[in-house]
Amino acid sequence: MSIESFDYIIVGAGTAGCLLANRLSQDPSQRVLLLEAGRPDNYPWIHIPVGYLYCIGNPRTDWLYQTEPEPGLNGRTLGYPRGKT
């Protein structure tokens, strides 16, 4: 089993992570690894603009984070959608 090595390992393929990986990989002498959590993006609703309605609150595509209880909302929490793919 061979172990690959990289010059840069970027964890998180959000806007900043993708931009940084793109910029660093423009130098062909640099090896860049971009890691993102989640499954492959073969779920059809993530490829359709209005499909986000089927992704928010769906454990397949959403981490289902909640805020802390908010005093201004009588102690209620709010959903905080964060994508997995």
Give me the tens of pLDDT residue by residue for the chain, a chain 85 residues long: 678 899 999 999 889 999 999 999 999 999 999 998 877 778 899 899 999 899 999 999 999 999 999 999 999 999 999 888 7
- Count of the separate structural domains present in the chain: 2
Q: Is the same domain home to 47 and 84?
A: yes
In this prediction, residue 1 carries a pLDDT of 61
CA angle 14, 20, 25 (to 5 degrees): 125
Q: Is the same domain home to 25 and 49?
A: no
Q: Is the same domain home to 11 and 31?
A: yes
Backbone angles phi and psi of 64, in degrees to 5 = 60, 35
Q: Is the same domain home to 29 and 46?
A: no
Q: Is the same domain home to 30 and 47?
A: no
- Per the structure, the complete domain to which residue 14 belongs is given by 1-36
In this prediction, residue 17 carries a pLDDT of 96
Q: Is the same domain home to 32 and 10?
A: yes
